[in-house]
Structure 1
Amino acid sequence: MTTQPDHGHELIPRPEPTPDAVRVALARIAPHRLGEMEQQKEQALAAALQDGKIGHLQHWLVYWRARVEIERRPDLRSRHQAALASLHSTDSRSDPEFRAAMAELRAVEDEAQQAVSG
């Protein structure tokens, strides 16, 4: 586990950027998502084998590092959940609340991506 800037209370430290460390972290904070993680890993591995590019696996790891970042930080998790709730309460994509919720989801995703990439 690595150290990181303080964002308030964090459920667990940020894991090292390895598949095993990310899997262990996810098992601690969102075990219900392990099946999804494994399924996407298999898809990334199949795509990498098919076209000979490791980028599929790199993208998979970055994606799941960001998911762990959102789950381990209550500030990001609550923003993410609120945006999803707002999104699901809208009637159409033309609803201004839909656009605002999507913008907030993107902001949370971007913040999580930057945190694990920096």
Structure 2
Amino acid sequence: MSRLAHDGVHLIPRPEQTPAALKAALTLVAADRLPEMIDGQTQAMAEAIASGGVQPIRSFVTHWAAVVEIERRPATAQAYHRANYLANHGESVLECREYALIVAELYREAFEAVSR
């Protein structure tokens, strides 16, 4: 059972943690990030081949599952994108740092939700 966002709204159900399912979900909730995902998948595959292990692929899948978790919940996605913008365009270093902490916390919550 997926965890409810603060407002209880989900755009889509939580997808399976496979590259294909995450790509399909990302197409629905944040299609503009597909090129980034595809580049990340290519890099993860190359790292897996070079290292002879699957950890780069596991990390790729978990990261994109967390991204989809954020994007499928409108209230969370809005808070995440606002904080991310302000972390990069704040009026002071302190303000940027405060918003960067919000970004990190929202990502951590999403990561934990998909890592259970």
- TM-score (normalizing by structure 2): 0.91
1:65 maps to which residue?
65
Match of 1:19 in 2: 19
> 2:3·2:113 contact (CA, 8 Å) conserved in 1?
no
Displacement of 1:12 in angstroms is 0.5
Higher relative contact order (CA 8 A, sep 6+): 2
What do you get for the CA RMSD once the two structures are aligned? Answer: 1.3
- CA shift, 1:96, in A, is 1.3
Alpha-carbon offset, residue 6 of structure 1: 2.5
1:1-118 matched pairs, under 5 angstroms: 3-7=1-5, 8-91=8-91, 95-118=93-116
- Matched residues in 1 for 2:54 and 2:27: separation? 25
Spell out, residue by residue over 1:62-103, the C-alpha distance to the aligned partner (whole angstroms, 9 max, x if none). Answer: 0100110111011210111121221132255xx210110111
Identity of aligned residues (%): 35
Q: TM-score, normalised by structure 1?
A: 0.90
Deviations along 1:23-55, one digit per CA (max 9) or x if unpaired, are 110111111111111111011100110111110
Hey, which bits of structure 1, 4+ residues long, moved more than 4 A? none
Total equivalences in the alignment: 114
Give structure 1 stretches of 5+ with no counterpart: none
